[in-house]
Amino acid sequence: MSGLIYLIAAVLFILAIRGLSSPRSARLGNGLGIAGMTLAVVTALALVPPQRLLLIVPALAIGGIIGVISGQKVKMTALPQMIAAFNGLGGLAAAFIAAGEIADGGTRYFGSAAGLLIGALAFSGSMIAFAKLQGLLPGRPFRFALQHPLNVLLGAAAFALLAAFSLWHTEWLFWALAVIALLLGFLLVLPVGGADMPIIISVLNSYSGWAAAGIGFTLGQTLLIITGTIVGASGAILAYVMTKAMNSSLLQIMTGGNTQNPSLAAAVVHQDRTARSGSPEDAAFIMENAEKIIIVPGYGMAAAHAQHALKEMADVLRQKYHTEVRFAIHPVAGRMPGHMNVLLAEANVPYDEIYEMDDINRDFGNVDVAYVIGANDITNPLAKTDPSSPIYGMPVLEVERAKTVFFVKRSLAAGYSGVDNPLFYNDNTIMLYGDAKQVTEAIVKDLEK
């Protein structure tokens, strides 16, 4: 009977992943995932001897309370680092289960060692990702001499220890593998820059899934194998899609990408050029006379919590001035996949007003205004023109083709890549300096007069 229930739970997980593939069905997908997990947990608890429930139920309650409080208090801008932290805890759980299985005299040595290796690596790597996203560590790539040969050496040592423990079952080999895996996770994520962190989060999510699948084989738990495989495969596919969207490769990202000096690139761009600035009143006047406007949100919108002000601005433009307003989303805008979609959904922006890059890029040449709010790298034309740039080859939103481009930023500072955006100095660009929410609210106030 439990096998049938686990199968139903697995089907619900698969349907949940399908639901999460679209903003329209995301709420249903979440509901299906919650239902599947609840069914799986209740069934698993029913199979546990009553005396062990005295330890398990309090642990579940504590973890559940922490999860609920974390979910309610986390800011939308902090979702990426929360996901990184939860990925890490998933990997740590797999490592603990593997260690417990060996300590309890388990004989599935290869499965336990594989779960330990992937889980410990996912944990330490996720902690570095969390620290970078939270600002506890610098977001720039961190490199040192002989870094890559050291990583290769540690990787070879990890696989050697995995094979040795599977053959000889010596306990010190198991703990040596744990240390190597933790160190390897740290060193693999340190050279990754902030702009590539969404991809690394997807990779680490995949690691956590494969670690769970390995533990599933160790414990003989079919549901854990299925769910771990789903998470592992979906994370890997998402990482592939994102690297393709950025015209990059996972190997390039894990090694820190292009080694160009960003400060030098910025200095070159700044020479003999002046960015034209304007006021919210200037922006409102131009928008009043515009027929078509495309809004491009980026991380600056998330940091300023400006999504509700943007929704209000779009509504005023449509209702009072009969302007066509659409939103353009880059695949890696923000700090995680779907970050901008979630924020706009929170502000009740209709799904049919939100367009993916491939669907709207061709239209920028026919719009009067592109309103770019806190987006830098994803609009930078150097990605198309400068082979020495770290973002070269990454598809970008071609906002420069609009008649007028408004950039809402606090300053002319570069984006995550560390490269300045020459678009700031174009003749058709007007910089609107200040907090994104305050600037947008000022524009709305002027539009309503």
Q: Which residues are catalytic?
A: 377
Enter the tokens of residue 166.
């599977």
Decide: residue 303, CB within 10 A, 0-12 exposed, 13-18 middle, 19+ buried.
middle
Whole-number Å distance between alpha carbons of 7 and 138: 44
User: CA distances (Å), 438 to each of 128, 227, 433, in order?
Assistant: 33, 44, 10
Q: Are 420 and 385 in contact (CB under 8 A)?
A: no
Q: Map residue 408 onto helix, strand or coil.
A: strand
The pair phi, psi for residue 441, each rounded to 5°, is: -65, -35
**Nearest residue to 218 (alpha-carbon basis) of 91, 105, 101:** 101
Whole-number Å distance between alpha carbons of 370 and 407: 8
Whole-number Å distance between alpha carbons of 181 and 121: 5
Q: Map residue 398 onto helix, strand or coil.
A: coil
Residues 6 or more apart in contact with residue 309 via CB below 8 angstroms: 437, 440, 441, 444
Q: Are 213 and 232 in contact (CB under 8 A)?
A: yes
**DSSP secondary structure string for all residues of 200-250:** HHHHHHHHHHHHHHHHHHHHT-HHHHHHHHHHHHHHHHHHHHHHHHTT--H
Cα 91–95–99 angle (5° rounding)?
170
Whole-number Å distance between alpha carbons of 157 and 151: 10
Residues 6 or more apart in contact with residue 20 via CB below 8 angstroms: 26, 29, 30, 33
The pair phi, psi for residue 442, each rounded to 5°, is: -65, -40
Whole-number Å distance between alpha carbons of 402 and 398: 8
DSSP type of residue 257: S
Q: Are 420 and 269 in contact (CB under 8 A)?
A: yes
Identify the helix (H) or strand (E) that includes residue 46. helix 26-46
DSSP type of residue 137: S
Q: Terminal CA-to-CA distance of the chain, rounded, Å?
A: 67
